Chain A
Amino acid sequence: VRKLLSIVFKGAAAVVSARTYADFTNEATFEIKKCDTFKLDEGPATQVVMTRDEGLQYYRTMQTMRRMELKADQLYKQKIIRGFCHLYDGQEACAVGIEAAINLSDHLITAYRAHGYTYTRGGTVKKIMAELTGRRGGIAKGKGGSMHMYCKHFYGGNGIVGAQVPLGAGVALACKYQGNSELCVCLYGDGAANQGQIFETYNMAALWKLPVIFICENNGYGMGTSVERAAASTDYFKRGEFIPGVRVDGMDVLCVREASRFAADYCRSGKGPILMELQTYRYHGHSMSDPGVSYRTREEIQEVRSKSDPISMLKDRMLSNNMASVEELKEIDVEVRKEIEDAAQFATTDPEPPLEDLCNHIFHNNPPLEVRGTNPWSKLKSVS
């Protein structure tokens, strides 16, 4: 009997592993949270369709971002990454959802919590991590660091809170000027939302009908200050006053994607700017020098992690709708882990930039010039 049972079980196992991908549901419809709207007659759709491929891609991207940020955390604690390191884990759905709704030919600009966006905009994990460790293989050759990473149609990585918002509107002005139907996604946080230059930008963007999507990533805390202590009005999606707004569940990648699609359509139709508030959460503190528990409780962080983690939510959705198997997702996890390990290995072993590079790239397209060193007779060479 035991022999028989073992044959049956082995057979069953064989049957299970022989299940082809054709057995998975190719696409499914999901019900997502309704978005609050401001000055809009209708909001984004509440019934969305996601295909299996899309789901796997979102899962892989979010998992890569999560692992990359956790690896950066590790490297920072080992003092291999220095200075500022603002981690994005918990907010992956925002970056992935937005990118799913726009094209690579569109433009995006954000603040300093930018590693995730650098990845979705086309940077490789290797180059991002090498930039964090300040090596010559970094995306900015080690000259920029965590806050100054650039890609095609990705304008950083900006260190000054709120300064990226007028820049984003300027990029949108260029899109409108050049007559391509590109738009600019311009991100800022709940802390930056109180900056004066953002209101100046709202005014000009609305006045000139610039194709810009303003997105406020509200993760509840501006450094150590909760939104209730910083803002007289925490309805960030209404702050545009004369700009229509949408409040979106930023932990649900499909919600973010749908709202971004809605916003992109609005912009591309020439109606002008639109504002989105993504309600999201960051697990880490403001930066690596902030433990993140002095202004919020560990229970709160744990609650969000267990109830609204974006990767878990997507995973549950896919598994419950038979869009993927546990093994498949585990396989993706293993691949991602390996990719991150390889990138970390590269980032720690790649040499630092050469000293000859110290004064280069001050100007663009400029004849070589001499730069004064630390003393008058030290004349350093600078090429563009």
Chain B
Amino acid sequence: MLPYSGSVSLVSSFLFPPLQFVPPPNRSDWLCVVTPSVRRVTRSSDWSKSRRFPTGLAHSPAEDSLKMAASLRCFLRSGKKAVSALGQREFHRSAPAAAQVTVRDALNQAMDEELERDERVFLLGEEVAQYDGAYKVSRGLWKKYGDKRIIDTPISEMGFAGIAVGAAMAGLRPICEFMTFNFSMQAIDQVINSAAKTCYMSAGLQAVPIVFRGPNGASAGVAAQHSQCFAAWYAHCPGLKVVSPWNSEDAKGLLKSSIRDDNPVVFLENELLYGVPFEMSEEAQSKDFTIPIGKAKVERAGSHITLVSHSRYVGHCLDAAAVLAKEGIECEVINLRTIRPMDVESIEASVMKTNHLVTVEGGWPQFGVGAEICARIMEGSAFNYLDSPVTRVTGVDIPMPYAKILEDHSLPQIKDIIFSLHNLVLIIVRNGNYSFVFAEFLICPYLAATKPNLH
């Protein structure tokens, strides 16, 4: 267990001549240590313009792992049916047990299966029926189930959200779709005061089994009024469950659990993920596949730094982890899956292993998901295991701008996640190429050697 180390600006150390190692006068003030292998270079301007990691990184000998990381990123981020770098089937003799399913299709499957399973489930919202869904998430459902169960509403969020809550009170199980959660602000009184609080106010007499779902957070180029993340707002309120899936498996399993739950659930999807294909195991494709609400998932095991995220930024964290893995920095990536109730135990267990925590989210920093994680870690037993303060990587604290360059810089990018580790990771720039070294390896190499390898 290392004591808390003060933040060391290691990048700025490159402006000075290489330093000798001097034992720190007190433990809260560590000097940076530079090994002879580091050369002083200027920062490349290309990096800040490009979101993609520059190829041809010469530092690491593991070229194939770099290629793997690059193609993994491609695979995870592109909307095209990218070939899996993990294994390409050349002969399709039999249908693969696992399949590539987009998040949109996974949500569609989940709703289809739940509509079939329970007569009381129905979907209402704007354009969900004849238009096949504003984002085509409910494609085909109206054709299959008809007007009674898939209901197009007029543009009256407060009205139809209230109607959905009333129907839930009277015994049905509605899925209320908001075209985006920005419009749920019109109906937020019904979500909080009529849905979330009713079970408590009635001392359990009146249940409200409803799911509010829709895309949340930033999309692409939709500007300020259509880009807000509501995870923090809804997760603030007792009586609600707030779920934020990332990949197709999450989407399907969590939506099914939400629909089967007898309580109000706010289901935050992400528009940019709708078209992204993910691998779904055979088990995940079955009709009874559910994921429990309130459990996080460790997407990638690691031992040096914990990255916690939800929704789209889990992908960014995995990409960042892939980049850092080349350098031997193993990040543990946790996909929260549920914002409320938050699985703090998983985060604590991970922090106790890695001693460092970074939270990544698209929402604004103040009073957000990351802020809550910081508070809970600080209040809990994992605080004593932290070697540095928790870092929050969040959206910039501004209304979302329109221009692409501004929009790109308002949200966390992979480089932001990596650069947020500047007090933990030496960022070495050589000839315009970046490489990373986990500071603990340099400062306390003996500790790095004794760290358990939990791959």
A residues within 8 Å of B by Cβ? 107, 109, 140-144, 148, 150, 155-156, 158-160, 163, 165-175, 177-178, 184, 196-197, 200-201, 203-204, 207-208, 360-366, 369, 371, 376, 384
Partner of A155 from B153, B166, B262, B263 at Cβ < 8 Å = B166
Q: Is B3 an interface residue (CB 8 A)?
A: no
Say what secondary structure dominates the interface of chain A.
mixed
B203 touches A364 (CB 8 A): no
List 10 tightest A-B contacts by C-beta distance, closest first. A170-B166, A166-B162, A200-B159, A174-B170, A200-B156, A167-B166, A376-B379, A364-B207, A141-B203, A170-B163
Question: Of all chain B residues, which has the CB nearest A369?
Answer: B341
Q: Decide: A360 near B204, CB < 8 A? Known: A166-B166, A167-B194, A178-B171.
A: yes
The proximity string for B residues 411-441 relative to A, scoring 1 for CB distances below 8 Å and 0 otherwise, is 0000000000000000000000000000000
Please give, as numbers and ranges, the residues of chain B lying within 8 Å of A175 by CB-CB distance.
Answer: 170
Can you report 12 residue pairs joining A to B where beta carbons are below 8 Å apart? Answer: A140-B203, A140-B205, A143-B202, A156-B198, A163-B190, A173-B166, A173-B172, A174-B167, A362-B199, A362-B200, A364-B262, A369-B341
Q: Confirm or deny: B315 has a beta carbon within 8 angstroms of a beta carbon on chain A.
A: no
Closest A residue to B195 using CB positions: A167
Is B193 on the interface with A (CB-CB < 8 A)? yes
Contact: B154 with A169, CB < 8 Å?
A: no
A364 to B201, CA, bound (A): 12
- Known contacts: A201-B163, A360-B204, A362-B199. The answer to whether A160 contacts B189 by CB under 8 A is yes
CA distance A109 to B194 in the complex (A): 12
- Besides the known contacts A143-B202, A160-B189, A160-B194, 6 further A-B residue pairs in the complex with CB atoms under 8 A apart: A167-B163, A170-B167, A184-B170, A203-B159, A361-B199, A376-B380
Pair A171/B158 contact, Cβ less than 8 Å: no
Which of A150, A167, A184, A207 lies in contact with B202, CB distance below 8 A? A150
Contacts of B239 in A (CB 8 A): 362-363
Chain B's closest residue to A145 (CB) is B201
Tell me the complex Cα distance, A142–B204, Å. 12
Task: State A165–B241 Cα separation when bound (angstroms).
Answer: 25
Inter-chain contacts of A166 with B (CB < 8 A): 158-163, 165-166, 190
**CA of A163 to CA of B163, assembled, Å:** 10
Contacting residues of chain B (167-205) with chain A, CB-CB under 8 angstroms: 167-172, 189-190, 193-194, 198-205
- Cβ-closest chain B residue relative to A353: B203
Chain A: CB-nearest residue to B378: A376
**CB–CB A170/B263 < 8 A:** no
Contact B170 A140 (CB under 8 A): no
Query: Is the Cβ of B169 less than 8 Å from the Cβ of A171?
Result: yes
Residues of B within 8 A of A109 (CB): 166
B238 beta carbon closer than 8 Å to chain A: yes
Q: Is B130 an interface residue (CB 8 A)?
A: no
Closest B residue to A179 by CB, please name it: B148
Q: Assess whether B159 is in contact with A197, with CB atoms less than 8 Å apart.
A: yes
B57 to chain A, nearest CB (A): 44
- Smallest CB–CB gap between B128 and chain A, Å? 14
**Cross-chain contact A170 with B170 (CB below 8 angstroms):** yes
Are A107 and B170 in touch, CB under 8 angstroms?
yes
- Kindly state the separation between the CA atoms of A174 and B90 in the bound complex, as whole angstroms: 53
Complex contact A200–B158 (CB within 8 A)? yes
A111 to B429, CA, bound (A): 66
